[in-house]
Structure 1
Amino acid sequence: MSDILMPKATAVWLVDNTSLSFEQIADFCGLHPLEVRGIADGDVARDIRGVDPVTGGQLTREELDKAQADETYRLKAIVSRHAELMKSAKPAPKYTPVSRRQDRPDAIAWFVRNHPEVTDAQIAKMLGTTKSTIESVRNRTHWNSANIKPVDPVTLGLVGQLALDEIVKKAADKKTKDDLKKGGGTLQPVEEVEAEPEFVPEARQRPGAEPTAESVFGTKD
């Protein structure tokens, strides 16, 4: 992929205004030599207006002269800040080998059973699957539901242990925060219970040291 802006418009200008070979132009613009030949023949980019890469700051005049003097020389473009900004910063989608794709429903089932706090979006991003597939596994409407069994995605080789731990922790932290906002995570006040009176044993009457006849047999009256 070429780093220059408007590669076809640049190729049109180079075809019309230089003696560069088709291969040189194709290499500089990121095109196929046959496509450059089509531009020269008028079959390709017929309605595209040429753009001068020299005045556009993507090529120096010295570099252009050097290439025109040597057919084997390949042009080196000036790195364009605008071209860098136009590049997509979005990472490429996660690719899962075909041999592993059949294991994804098992991994999804593992998340559904063991970590319901992990969102469908997080599962989809981690496993490289779709929300509709996750929903079908959860509702058991997946075409292979009879054979799906929960299996740890680390064991299946779909994700690393550190990445799994991180996503589970994030989901758990978010759930805790949501519960606190809803009031479900706060402790309810304990009702006061009336304290029971302290038990005091009854005082026992201490007998005298020596029993008397009256205390044993009573009196005659």
Structure 2
Amino acid sequence: MTDILMPKATAVWLVDNTSLSFEQIADFCGLHPLEVRGIADGDVARDIRGVDPVTGGQLTREELEKAQDNPDYRMKAVVSRHAELLKPSKTAPKYTPVSRRQDRPDAIFWFVRNHPEVTDAQIAKLLGTTKSTIESVRNRTHWNSANIKPVDPVTLGLIGQLQLDEIVKKAADKKAKDDAKSGGAALQSIQAEPEEPEFVPEERVRPGAEPTAESVFGKND
């Protein structure tokens, strides 16, 4: 599947103007089938205006007709030169295959339960999800909360072990620094040791004059 521009707007148009199944639209637009169902029910993307992918050059009429005739067929998007030019130059968020997207809430819940020091922004970047999704998993308001269980993202194949170790270490170090600044015990000032008195040699008493025989041996009577 090729990334398309404005996937939700495209999904809105396909729901309103074609007989495609929710799964076909979800696969083409990179959405979850339940999101597409929400669009059809009016619960999702209410204010989004539909965009025709055929006139927009992202889908051929032949592909659309072939998909409408065969519910098992998955449409292939047209590789657009303009879409390539419009892609951001920075590294795009990690893409997660459609088959594994239902695993992300489990991975999010694992982070929330086992590593609360990892921020929502770090989780979103690492798993390719959104902060609103993370918040819904944390507050148990996610549409699939009853089936969400904490599972290691490495086990799910969403990230590698080195990535996980790096993000956890980075978050732990930052939390330790923040705790030291706010609530950590203040370092006691080191008391200066008493200075030793400077050594001054004793002054020698110099005799007033050279010794004489009389002063040494006394007077002869």
Q: TM-score range by the shorter chain?
A: 0.3 to 0.5
Q: Point out the structure with max Rg over C-alpha.
A: 1
TM (norm. structure 1) is 0.44
